[in-house]
Amino acid sequence: MEKAKRILTIQDVSCVGQCSLTVALPIVSACGIETSVLPSSVLSTHTGGFVGYTFRDLTDDMPSIEKHWISEGLKFDAFYTGYVSESQIDYILSIMDSCASDGALRIVDPAMADNGKLYVGFGQDFPKKMAKLCRGADYILPNLTEAALLLDQEPVLSGYGKEYIELLLRQLTTLGAKNIILTGVSFDDNNLGVATYDGKEVKYYFNAKIPRMSHGTGDVFASAFTGALMRGADADKAAAIAADFVCESIKATPEDHTYGVCFERAIPTLVDAIGRI
């Protein structure tokens, strides 16, 4: 039997809100991959639209968790990081070194901003720290806002063409990441998609745009991308599977459900796509 793969995902627990670990754990698991977790913080809800949420940072637990994993000889076949605090970047880099199986992949979703703005709670210099985590990554998965902020540029969200996107992709590789998976790309009113760049060729994958704001879709995308990649899809195929799954998740979400998307209802479509890799 094929050796079972194990990934470690590092991001927050938003107790309610369909984002980060409550999305990554079910989605990567549904792809057939064991999903270990390192919670970066615990919040009562995510920070987008809720008021008065609690926030407990778990940075102090990281060194002792790493020490225990080293003593147990625990290794991971991939690391997938999301929403983390500035103080955690060096610990995460250390865990990625000390607990890596041979050839372990580093997948970094620089979850910190959307729609032109940093998420509440991140200081203006946070993108610089996140750029450090992107440096040794095999894959980074920024949206358009995160891509610009990583490069210390003003986000451009509309009115751009292929030239802008392809310049952004080339500039992002100078951060030191091998492959860029850029989400939220749109050249017209009807299509929304992903641009991928492996340092040689830019490829695009589009779906029909669904005209509504949806929270947590970046996490749904990154989780499905990670699961598909670990099941043997190449990066372009994994990006297409993940983009399709985001669309199915949005379509499965009632209009009055606003804090996240009902990805749970779309999981059968993802499992189906994984079975066809």
Map the footprint of ligand PXL across residues 97-116, applying CB under 6 A: 111
Contact pattern from residue 196 through residue 215 relative to ligand PXL, giving x for each residue in contact according to CB under 6 A and a dash for the rest: --------------------
114, 149, 123, 136: which is closest to 19 by C-alpha?
114
How many residues interact with ligand PXL (rule CB under 6 A)? 14
Binding of ligand PXL at residue 14 (CB under 6 A)? Answer: yes
User: 94: which 2 tokens?
Assistant: 């250390």
CA separation for the pair 194, 25 (Å, rounded): 23
- Letters for 68-97 (x = contact with ligand PXL by CB under 6 A, - = none) are ---------------x--------------
The answer to whether residue 12 forms part of the interface with ligand PXL (CB under 6 A) is yes
Would you tell me the crossing angle of helices 21-30 and 217-230 to the nearest 10 degrees?
Answer: 30
Q: Assess contact for 139 and 178: CB atoms under 8 A.
A: yes
Of 43 and 78, which CB lies nearer to ligand PXL in the complex structure?
43
Give the residue, chosen from 219, 225, 235, 249, that forms a contact with ligand PXL under the rule CB under 6 A: 219
Given a contact cutoff of 8 angstroms between Cβ atoms, the answer to whether 17 and 260 are in contact is yes
Map the footprint of ligand PXL across residues 119-138, applying CB under 6 A.
119
Q: Which is nearer to ligand PXL, 218 or 227 (CB)?
A: 218
List the interface residues with ligand PXL, window 35-64 (CB under 6 A). Answer: 43, 46-48
Closer residue to ligand PXL (CB): 50 or 204? 50
Binding of residue 20 to ligand PXL (CB under 6 A):
yes
Q: Is 259 in the site for ligand PXL (CB under 6 A)?
A: no
C-alpha 76/C-alpha 91 separation (Å) is: 16
Where in 137-196 is the site for ligand PXL (CB under 6 A)?
Answer: none
Residue whose C-alpha is closest to residue 197's, from 208, 211, 210, 183? 183
Stretch that binds ligand PXL, among 11-19, 63-71, 138-146, 206-214 (CB under 6 A): 11-19
Query: What is the C-alpha separation between 177 and 234, in angstroms, rounded?
Result: 17
Q: How open is the CA angle 175-181-182, to the nearest 5 degrees?
A: 90
User: Min. distance of Cβ 83 from ligand PXL in angstroms?
Assistant: 4
State in angstroms the smallest separation of the CB of 8 from ligand PXL.
17
Give the integer Cα–Cα distance in Å for 46 and 50.
7
Using DSSP's 3-state secondary structure scheme, residue 184 falls into: strand
Q: How far is the CB of 198 from ligand PXL (least distance, A)?
A: 26
223 binds ligand PXL (CB under 6 A): no
Strand ranges inside the chain, DSSP E: 6-16, 34-45, 55-57, 76-81, 100-108, 113-114, 117-118, 139-140, 179-185, 191-197, 202-208
Binding site for ligand PXL (CB under 6 A): 12, 14, 19-20, 43, 46-48, 83, 111, 119, 216, 218-219
